A = this chain, B = another copy of it.
């Protein structure tokens, strides 16, 4: 981890499920990165971070592994992480956080261009945000570091009825 351990801003807690402060507190103690945890769980690091923020489902196996590597009582974690996430309420939109705003700006700037190209490539439909995965990569060249984010979603054509 060439960057900095990501921690939870305490003022976000009222917008998060009970599991979030539990997980972040343990992560801070154990000094574990999302990448390291992702390897342990066999899941992408973005998915793990999404579990921490209450935005992705942790199944029984995930809970067991998280409990073990983070040293959290299994019962407590299971009780807090059981249930399907109530996604989307953490961020106030438009996002005020500069890093997240840049992603929002990309949608604002290129939204219709993506639609145009996707319609011409696939027809009438959408890219699913559910049957979907994403990952983050770091690339370095002589100009410095580059972020590469990949979004991959199933194409869903509109039904004809």
Q: B-contacting residues of A (Cβ < 8 Å)?
A: 1-12, 14-18, 28, 33-35, 43-47, 49-50, 52-57, 59, 79, 82-136, 138-139, 143-161
- Which chain B residues lie closer than 8 Å to A105 at the CB level? 88, 98, 101, 129
A108 CB contacts on chain B under 8 angstroms: 87-88, 91, 93, 96
Q: How far is the CA of A90 from the CA of B53 in the complex (A)?
A: 20
Number of copies: 10
A126 CA to B149 CA, complexed, in Å: 13
Q: A88-B105, A111-B103, A118-B147 are in contact. Are A130 and B1 (CB under 8 A)?
A: no
Among B11, B17, B101, which residue has its beta carbon within 8 angstroms of that of A14?
B11
CA distance A96 to B89 in the complex (A): 6
Closest A-B pairs by Cβ, 5 of them = A88-B96, A7-B83, A133-B161, A49-B113, A9-B86
B residues near A100, Cβ cutoff 8 Å: 107, 111-112, 114-115
10 contacts between A and B (CB under 8 A): A3-B122, A9-B54, A9-B83, A52-B116, A91-B107, A105-B129, A118-B147, A128-B156, A133-B161, A150-B150
| With known contacts A129-B105, A148-B150, A154-B146, A121–B46 Cβ distance under 8 A | no
Q: Is the CB of A127 within 8 A of B99?
A: yes
Note all chain B residues with C-beta closer than 8 A to A3.
118-124
